[in-house]
Amino acid sequence: MKLMEAYADKVIASGAYEPLDRIYVLNKIRGFVGDEDVEAQDGQPLVSQLVDLAVKRGKIEGGQTEREILNDQLYDLMTPRPSVVNHEFWEKYQQSPDTATNWFYNLCTSNDYVKVAAIKKNVVFDKPTKYGNLEITINLSKPEKDPKAIAAAAHDTKKKYPQCALCMENEGYKGRLGQAARSNHRIIRMMIGGHKWGFQYSPYAYFNEHCIFLDSKHEPMQINRQTLVNLVEIEKQLPAYFVGSNADLPIVGGSMLAHEHYQGGRHSFPMMKAAIKKSLEFKDYPDVEAGIVNWPMSDIRLTSANTAQLIDLGTHIIDVWDHYSDESLDIKAVDGDTRHHTVTPIMHRDGDRFVLDLVLRDNNTSDQYPLGIFHPHEKLWHIKKENIGLIEVMGRAILPARLKSELAEVKKFWLGLDNEIADSHLPWAKEVQAKMSITEDNVDEVMEQELANIFSNVLENAGVFKDDAAGQAGWSRFIEKL
């Protein structure tokens, strides 16, 4: 079949247009790639072929940004308008929340907004540690920044539109150098905490149905009572998803502190499965079960069907931690007017009960730990140097793409083969080699287990109360303060 005709048929089959619209759709496609049709090739996505044809004919340049823009413009043809998507979502929501999210997620994968083919490239496995199985991913899906975009950004001082990647104004935005193409992007509108929010999926998902809840206003992130109210409201509307917020401070926070947002999805993380190691009792909140979680980071878990008491107790813990210092453990709440304490709050449902994990965070630095006292320490930087955000707090490592090739050289080193092992990996590689016999049969297993062990150490570094006598005594002092 001819290429443009085949894609026009696919667009109509999607339901975005009707058969009567076929000439119109074909002319839209011709406007992007030129008038003359060609034979479609088997085994390659139709849109990829159309993008290649546009480059060949000089309709677009062949750079990464230009290709992404045209790719999303073509997929936009098979994506209903935002008003139609929202109407369909909330109509299906009347059947059940799962019916609505299943439909919306399928739309976002079929129109290539969620980059399924790219996500499949990620390395993903889990391995046991003393804290249970930890999940390891090497992120190979998200493309490196376009060099032309990096160069352009260095000389660009204009006010941006959209202001950031999480603004509502990204919906349908064509894209440009340094600003992602979003022609095929759709956002579900919902009310959270009395304000208009958006619900969308993440293009480069780190787990199943990875989604984002974003404030309609471009305002900085903050963790407070309203955060907990918002998390409860989201859980009431989408009970099959977890939802959580990155911390609202640098070092311990995420990479998008300028725009209030939460992350969620259909995934049960290792931290959610971790048991309570010490029960706590708060007599003023009789309907709330509380305890310290057996986890490398410092996590208090609250569970209750009484969301009012859950929010009240959670707010109390956040407020006390915000001003709590224990300098014997390098825990310091403020420096002058600069606050250093916050929490990473995460919520999921257990039937009619709401489960709230509050992970205590401290972003202080020191001469010994210039990137953060409660941050991966220098010995671990060869594997993980980046901030520990929401997803990693819960036990799923997001490791940089560089490791795929670097760790292949480490395995060659272990097997005595010619290699180009990086100097940064050499001390660790020798340490592992000295403690066990590594063969072709077990080298992959050894590598996976050692990465899980390192990630366990990363999370221990990020915990404010360590799993030792001093840390347990610190926990007791803080609980007494509560």
Q: Residues 219-223: what's their mean pLDDT? A: 95
pLDDT of residue 308: 98
pLDDT of residue 125: 97
Q: What are phi and psi of 365, to 5 degrees?
A: -120, 170
User: How many Å apart are CA 373 and CA 329, to the nearest integer?
Assistant: 10
Confidence category of residue 254, pLDDT binned at 50, 70, 90: confident
Confidence category of residue 424, pLDDT binned at 50, 70, 90: very high
Say whether pLDDT at 281 is over 70.
Answer: yes
Q: Residues 175-193: what's their mean pLDDT? A: 95
Percent of the chain with pLDDT over 70: 97
Question: Which of 93, 5, 109 is closest to 50 using CA atoms?
Answer: 5
Q: Where are the beta strands (DSSP E) in 285-402?
A: 289-293, 299-304, 334-335, 338-339, 341-350, 353-362, 396-399
Say whether pLDDT at 144 is over 70.
Answer: no
Question: Which of 272, 192, 200, 201 is closest to 236 using CA atoms?
Answer: 192
pLDDT of residue 158: 67
User: How many Å apart are CA 198 and CA 189, to the nearest integer?
Assistant: 5
**pLDDT tens-digit readout, 4-54:** 999 999 999 999 999 999 999 999 999 999 999 999 999 899 999 999 999
* Burial letters 346-380, b for 16+ CB under 10 A, else e: bbbbeeeebbbbbbbbbbbeeeebeebbbbbbeeb
Q: Where are the domains of the chain?
A: 1-60
**pLDDT tens-digit readout, 359-398:** 999 999 999 999 999 999 999 999 999 999 999 999 999 9
Residue 309 CB burial class (10 angstroms; 0-12, 13-18, ≥19): middle
Say whether pLDDT at 349 is over 70.
Answer: yes
Q: Residues 160-167: what's their mean pLDDT? A: 93
pTM, 2 dp: 0.94
Say whether pLDDT at 154 is over 90.
Answer: no
* Burial letters 153-165, b for 16+ CB under 10 A, else e: eeeeeeeeebeeb
Q: Provide the residue type at 269 as one letter.
A: F
pLDDT of residue 255: 78
Confidence category of residue 145, pLDDT binned at 50, 70, 90: low
pLDDT of residue 153: 52
Strand 299-304 to 334-335 pairing: unpaired
pLDDT of residue 17: 96
Say whether pLDDT at 409 is over 70.
Answer: yes
**Contacts made by residues 98-102, CB under 8 angstroms, sequence distance 24+:** 98/240, 101/209, 101/238, 101/240, 101/241, 101/266
pLDDT of residue 342: 97
Give the mean pLDDT of the chain.
95
Say whether pLDDT at 142 is over 90.
Answer: no
Q: Residues 115-129: what's their mean pLDDT? A: 95
pLDDT of residue 159: 77
Question: Comparing 143 with 102, which gets the higher pLDDT?
Answer: 102
User: How many Å apart are CA 434 and CA 315, to the nearest integer?
Assistant: 49
User: How many Å apart are CA 215 and CA 226, to the nearest integer?
Assistant: 13
Confidence category of residue 149, pLDDT binned at 50, 70, 90: low
